Each structure stands twice: as C-alpha cells, then as structure tokens.
Structure 1
C-alpha cells in the first residue's frame, strides 16, 4: 500500500506542528492538494538551510500534490522579523526582483513549476499596489494586536524595538494565503517552525473571511544536535548556487558534519529509504565516516547532479591519497602577472573566499590552520609569488579538509 506523504514526512522528522493533523492527513490521502511555501528573495540563491523547504516540495510533488512557490517580491520590501534581533536592511525593488528571478530558476531545477504540476507566483503582484485604507478595513480588522504581540517573532523583538513596518509582516503573509486560496484553491501553507504564528494568521483569516478550509504545517529547521542553524561556515553561507559554493565545497561541508547530526541530515537531505538511513546512522567509530560520505554524495547529487557529485567525491578521496589529484578540486584561475610582485596571503585567502576577512585569515594563520603546497604557514605577512607555483598550480589547505587550487595562465 502506498504511503501517505504526511506519514513519509513525519517518519523522516520533517513535521513539527500542524493546525489540523487529522484533516491534513485525510486531504493528502484523498486528493491532489495545492500547497504553498514562501521564499523571500533576500539573496539571489538559497543556502543549505533553506533547502529543507525544497526537499519538502519534492516529496509532496512526487506524491501527486501541486506546489505553489511564492516569491516575496512584496514581503521582502518590509522584512520578516522572525528570528532577527535587528530590523532587516532595506533592499531596492530592482534587487528584490532580480533575486526573485534567480531563485525561481534555481527552484525550477528541483520542482516542476510549469503552471500545472507546480506554480510560481510573486506576491508583488497583489501587495505592491494595495489600497492601504481598504486593506486595513477588509483585512486588518481581523487581527488582534494583543494576540499578535504574544507571537514569538514579536516578543523577542519588543525590548530592542519593533517597527510598525515589520509589525505588518504577519498580516501581509496571512493575506498571501487568502489570495492563493482565492486564485488557486490553495488549502495548505507549509513553512519552517519559525513561521508558525504567521501561518496560523493565514489559516484563521481564510476560515473567517471566506469560510473555506485552510490548514498549516511547519517543519523543523536544519540544525545541529546542539540547536545551531546549519548552512553557515567561517567563510559565510553554504550556497546552492555553484558559482557561490562549489560542488566540492558543498560535498565537503556535508562530509564534515558532526557524528550526532548524521541521522538527521540523512533523513532531511536525502531520499534514501529509512531502512538504509537507520543502518548508516547506527555505524560507530571511524565507520560513521562511510555514512558521511554517502550523505555528502547523495545531497550533492540532488543539488548538482550525479556527474558533479562523482567529481566532488573523487576529488575528496584523491586529496587523502598519495596522488593528490587536483582536477576536481575547487579552482580559481588567475592572471600570472598578478603574482609577479606577489599578493599578500591575507588578501589572497579572502579573495578566494577561504576566509571572510583579513582579520580571520590572520587568526587562522597564527593558529596553524593554513598550508601552501603542503607546508604550514606561520607568517601572516607572507607574500605569495610565482616561485611558489608548481606547474602553474598552487594548492592551499585550510584546516584539515578544505583545499583550494589557484591556477595561473
């Protein structure tokens, strides 16, 4: 008997909260449900943490349901206060629109958004030209300020100050659900567990205004066993866009997760059957590294395709073998003339995105965390010159497992 996608998501550990668990399971069992997930285009790429939402969409579409990917061209102009200690920086509408286009192209690689099996929409279409007074009269009257202030996303900001601009965010997101319900008969909103208050707002608005069924479901954020959000490194976010984070670096990021996080990542970031997940998660000692290699390969394959995953895997293995094959290592090509007078190592490390700043590069060198051509570097003032290159190649190692090749021509 075919499993209900609700039970698949539950078994893999995605689901955290549901507004109407019994009804949601029933509609997912008996009909093709239109559901939506919102993506505020605050950058031109998703990072690993965001990809949980894409995985959920893939599971749901595979089960015959219809995803609506909502890009927040309107809401991103306000900024979601959820999980933020300070107000978001304002972006121009042009930047937001460009980010939304890039995100849509990215998500379309994983989820079919052809207008039938899946739909892509932008809330700028209805939010940017709203009549404010009509909006307050028709929608705002259904929201209690006292109740909104009890929402976790607002409570955590009250001491530092919450702008009226951000206070509108919950109402705008709730209105998105109402619009999607009216336009597409969307019945279900999904989101991270930090969106619970906003999702409840939309569910209640639809039921109150249109007397139609509406449901909400949240899933866990990608965190470590210590509760820290995953998807960040010393050098910044681990992006899905390979021009920002190479397939090799993505592979290495997953290959290096803590032992305690292996099971969670295998459940949420791969489509491996649960029997195999449990078997791999049960490995102990150095054997757990096999599970990490499978995790890294499977996720890199989902994001970048099998060919890139194989290259990343081969490059990772080669670096720990005698041959040190560097063909598939993350590589930056630079002009030979740049090194005639030399480039400061601090500047080079930052330029290659191995460190986020010269200060971080200096600390790393002093801690013995940088090697060039297999020689540990101890002088932060070092200049990298042509003499250091071998066959027009320079290999920099950061920490124990991160490698980067500079090729000159």
Structure 2
C-alpha cells in the first residue's frame, strides 16, 4: 500500500475512495496535485474544514502539492443541506469572507518550496462563464435522474429545493475540471457528506476529457453519542480567534471525552504513530491523568493559533483555579476568559459593587444570602484571594485590566463580572 494512504488510513481519515488501489498507484507515480474546496458561508473555517487541512498537510509532507479552493462563486449559491434552503449572503460580504478564509488557510499550509501549496478562488473562472456556455459545456454531461437520486436532494423534494441549490453539484464539478485542465489536479478530497459532489466531478472529467481522476472522502467526526464533533452548547468551534478564543479552543479539546480522544489525536496531531500509540497506552492505564487530552489540546492549539497563544490559554486556565496569578494575564486573554465565563455586566455610578453582589451577579451563588454564607464559611474568592469580610466592596485595584473581577466559590465554581462605569 502507498505510504501516505497507509498513514491516512491508520489515522482514520479515509471513509470512501473512487479506487483506493488505483489512487495509491497514482500517488506512487510521482508528485500529484490534490485540492479541497471551502465555501465561505461564514467568516471562518471550522473543525470539519480542519480535517481536510490535515489530509493535505499529510499529502504535502509526502511530497505532493496541496491546493485550497475558496469558493467565491459557490459560496454565493450554497451547497444543499438537509434542513432547508440556505439564505444567500450579500456579494460583498462573501468577498470579504473569501479573503479572511484565504489568509487563514494560508497559515496552515506551506506556500513555498518545490511542492508549495496554492490558493485559488473559483470566482476567477465562473464569473466570465456565460449561462449558455455553462449549460452546453457542463450541463449536457449531467443526468437529471441521477441528480434527483442524491440523498440530500431526495430529502428536500417534499419541502422543496430551488434550482439554484439543485444545480450546485454542476458548479463543484466544473471546479474539479477547471483545476484538472489548468493545474493538473488529479485528486479531490472532502467530507463523506460531499461524496456525491466529489464523484460527480470525477464523472464530468471522464465524460468531457476522457481522463481518470480520483476522489477521497474523510469520515464525519462525531462524539461518542453520535452528535457532531466541533459543536458546543454555544455553537461551532471556529478557527478564527475572534470567533472562538484560543482559550476556549484549548479548553474544548482539553475536555474531549475519554472514549474518543485518541481518535481525535490521530486526526489532529502530527505526532508519529509510535508516540500516539504510547499516549493511548498511558491513557488506558491512567485515564485520570488526561495525558491524551493534554497532548491533543496542545498540538491542535499550536497548529491553529501558535505556541504563544497556547501558553496564554494554559496560563489562563491555571490562573482561574488559583495555580498562578490572574494579574499576569494580558487584556486580550482576560477578555476571552471573561467571555467564556459569561461575565455579568455590572453598571456602576459612584461606587463599585460589593463582593456579595459580584458573587451573585456572576451566578456562582444563587442569592446574596448564599454569597454571604460562602464568605463566612471560607469558600469565597476574589481574584483567587479568599474573602473573609461579608461586607467587602470591590476596589479599583481589584479590577483586572481595569474592567474585570474573577470570583470563585470553592475549588471549581468560577464566574466573572465586568464593571461598566456610567
């Protein structure tokens, strides 16, 4: 078996392939160019997209050339989804998202050297394509019967699907053919939910150009209960630090469930097979040490946000629970931590709130009487300092970066308040 196929298989990154043996032989013939497309339906890519990035990083390490397509045109249309018709975003908004995602992806792949990665935008070739040319040159190769047989289309027939979304598969297939013709791309990857789109592109190239190309789909990552991986109660885990802070990002993976953490480590860490197998053995022997979770959180945060942000995220977590000084955290990290804690905003005029008010407003205690009781019992903390006076009032020196105070009840119940001066 081809070495990179073997590596991807061991890491659990292969769900489907048009022909795995043929693909392996093709990879053995010499460096190939493979692509994956990301539609800008938001200002950032997310964890599902990062799975594809990891596939292409592995291909690039094996000497192949990765190409990332950001869908300036397909992002204006929207791939059909089970839930119903997508809302079309403004053209200028999508254009802005394209640039943000291009910059984001460009930091995750090597864009220099003999097998440098390439970034492309499909608006560059679809914008100049006339409707007649599109229908004659692309549409004639597609059977409506087969398009109707796609699972997502069948699921939408009762509720309705627009012609726009119905024809999305033609645009994605056109992308593959355009990249095959202009860049020699012979392989496309995507999630297993994209399998119909992937194989449609393969078929278009076979029908129109008489050439054989390949498609490979990765599994959709899930949690142990079958729910979608990369989702939290507050929403999607994004790679943009303004949408999911490095602190929240690191915490998400630090809290990965024992049953799935090694599988996630194989996907998102570039540690060797031997090292991951050693971590897995330690995890099984002493799961309470959370060795795999720590390795996963550190590796993926280093990759996406960089080592300095990872160190800041770990310092913030340590400071929250009294293992280091909160005052040493920078304002950006404090803002992220406070946001994740759901900091209560307290508007003040002349005087600052009492510690009792801060404990209550933050939600770490249910009432003012419970706050006073926590203080009297020695279980209340302000910025990791034990509070002994039930009548204590916050002072300016208590406000971290002049705005926030972290309050805690016992060892683990933490909250925050943000003081807004009138």
Mapping of 1:106-255 within 5 angstroms? 106-113=104-111, 117-255=116-254
Deviates more, 1:213-222 or 1:11-20: 213-222
- How many pairs does the alignment contain? 376
Mapping of 1:48-67 within 5 angstroms? 48-67=47-66
Q: Which residue of 1 aligns with 2:314?
A: 313
Q: Structure 1 residues 61 and 403 mapped into 2: Cα distance closer, same or farther (>3 Å)?
A: farther
Q: Partners of 1:105 and 1:256 in 2: how far apart?
A: 29
Q: CA deviation at 1:265?
A: 0.9
Q: Which residue of 1 aligns with 2:398?
A: 391
Q: Partners of 2:419 and 2:108 in 1: how far apart?
A: 33
Q: CA deviation at 1:312?
A: 1.8
Deviates more, 1:188-197 or 1:147-156: 147-156
Q: Partners of 1:319 and 1:29 in 2: how far apart?
A: 51
Q: Partners of 2:230 and 2:412 in 1: how far apart?
A: 19
Consecutive unaligned residues of structure 2, counting only runs of 5 or more, are 339-344, 354-361, 383-392
> Residues 43-79 of structure 1, C-alpha deviation per residue, up to 9 Å, x if partnerless?
1211223211111121111111111111111111111
Give 3-state SS (helix, strand or coil) of 2:185's partner. Answer: coil
Q: Which residue of 1 aligns with 2:261?
A: 262
Give 3-state SS (helix, strand or coil) of 2:217's partner. Answer: strand
CA contact (8 A) 1:315 1:326 kept: no
Q: Partners of 2:319 and 2:302 in 1: how far apart?
A: 19
Q: CA deviation at 1:127?
A: 1.6
Matched, 1:331 2:331: no
Q: CA deviation at 1:340?
A: 1.9
Q: Partners of 2:17 and 2:52 in 1: how far apart?
A: 16
- RMSD across aligned C-alpha pairs, in angstroms? 3.4
CA contact (8 A) 2:188 2:215 kept: yes
Q: Partners of 1:230 and 1:343 in 2: how far apart?
A: 42
CA contact (8 A) 2:348 2:420 kept: no
Give 3-state SS (helix, strand or coil) of 1:121's partner. Answer: strand
Q: Which residue of 2 aligns with 1:382?
A: none
Larger Rg: 2
> Residues 321-364 of structure 1, C-alpha deviation per residue, up to 9 Å, x if partnerless?
45564634832299xx98324999xxxxxxxxxxxxxxxx99x9
Q: Which residue of 2 aligns with 1:349?
A: none
Q: Partners of 1:28 and 1:294 in 2: how far apart?
A: 31
Consecutive unaligned residues of structure 1, counting only runs of 5 or more, are 345-360, 376-385
Q: Partners of 2:277 and 2:413 in 1: how far apart?
A: 27
CA contact (8 A) 2:258 2:287 kept: no
Give 3-state SS (helix, strand or coil) of 1:242's partner. Answer: coil
Q: Which residue of 2 aligns with 1:87?
A: 85
Q: Which residue of 2 aligns with 1:35?
A: 34
Q: Partners of 1:156 and 1:401 in 2: how far apart?
A: 45
Q: Partners of 1:265 and 1:300 in 2: how far apart?
A: 13
Q: Which residue of 2 aligns with 1:98?
A: 96
Q: Structure 1 residues 406 and 271 mapped into 2: Cα distance closer, same or farther (>3 Å)?
A: farther
Alignment TM-score, normalising by the size of structure 2 = 0.80
CA contact (8 A) 1:319 1:326 kept: no
Deviates more, 1:107-116 or 1:159-168: 107-116
Q: Partners of 2:216 and 2:287 in 1: how far apart?
A: 38
Q: Partners of 1:387 and 1:98 in 2: how far apart?
A: 43
Q: Partners of 1:264 and 1:130 in 2: how far apart?
A: 43
